[in-house]
Copies of this chain bind each other. A is one copy, B any other.
Amino acid sequence: MSASEQTNWQSVHDEVLRRIHTREWKPGDQIPKEVELAEQLGCARATVNRALRELAAEGFLDRRRKAGTRVATHPVRRAKLDIPVIRLEIEGRGQKYGYGLLLTERRTPTPEICANLGVSAKSDMLHISSLHLADGKPYMFEERWVSIDTVPEIVDADLSKISANEWLVLHAPYTKGDISFSAVLASELEAKILRTHAGAPLFLMERTTWENDAGITSARLLFAPGYRMHSAI
């Protein structure tokens, strides 16, 4: 405690976390106010503030003006999922990335897609199906709709060379996005594409993005059997 030489915000962070872990401060307990902690630990209040702010963001503390800082009673753990471009995810594991464009068509969207993106049924959209491979094996089947109204440049992109996902990342930044995960059964067609059998359990990721309420894209990403998404908490 007082004997520590280094008094940077990280050491304060770690010290507070230690006291929580050792149950010196229990869930629900009020901890000393910033000024007191700063005195105890021999640093400026701003330093303590930085440490406690991060701990609150990590879910370990609840802070409220006037009420003080308390150890979270139900430490909501926040898993941070990095959602990289698929190519980088595969290459990052040392596998060879492959990509195949299966279909592109320009047409009006299905009612479901309209609802997702919040666009009219007459929207001009690009429908893209593609397959991503890892070491030559099917890895993920992507079905995507892109709003041509919002991103007109997409019609000039060569989507046989660069995946729609990657093109969009570079050319159409979004301001808002939704992502969801679930489990589904492979249909006949999906099974064929992913080289598995109908009825196999597939991990499904659905993403929709907007630029200031203008729908950009809605995608359905179906991963081959055996896929696991993981993270540290």
| A residues in contact (CB < 8 Å) with B | 20-21, 23, 27, 73-85, 88, 169-170, 173, 175-185, 199, 201-204, 207, 209, 211, 225-233
Q: Report yes or no: A180 in contact with B230, Cβ–Cβ below 8 A.
A: yes
Which of B80, B85, B230 meets A178, CB within 8 Å? B230
Apart from A180-B228, A183-B204, list 16 A-B contacts with CB within 8 A.
Answer: A21-B211, A23-B173, A74-B88, A78-B81, A79-B80, A79-B81, A83-B233, A179-B232, A179-B233, A181-B203, A181-B228, A181-B229, A182-B183, A182-B226, A183-B203, A201-B202
Q: Report yes or no: A173 in contact with B77, Cβ–Cβ below 8 A.
A: no
Q: Report yes or no: B179 in contact with A75, Cβ–Cβ below 8 A.
A: no
Q: Report yes or no: A175 in contact with B230, Cβ–Cβ below 8 A.
A: no
Known: A179-B231, A230-B180, A230-B181. A78 touches B83 (CB 8 A): yes
Q: Report yes or no: B77 in contact with A232, Cβ–Cβ below 8 A.
A: no
Cβ contacts under 8 Å, A173 to chain B: 20-21, 23, 75
Interchain nearest-CB distance for A89 vs B (Å): 10
9 A–B contacts, CB within 8 A, in A order: A73-B170, A76-B82, A176-B232, A178-B233, A180-B231, A181-B230, A185-B201, A207-B233, A209-B233
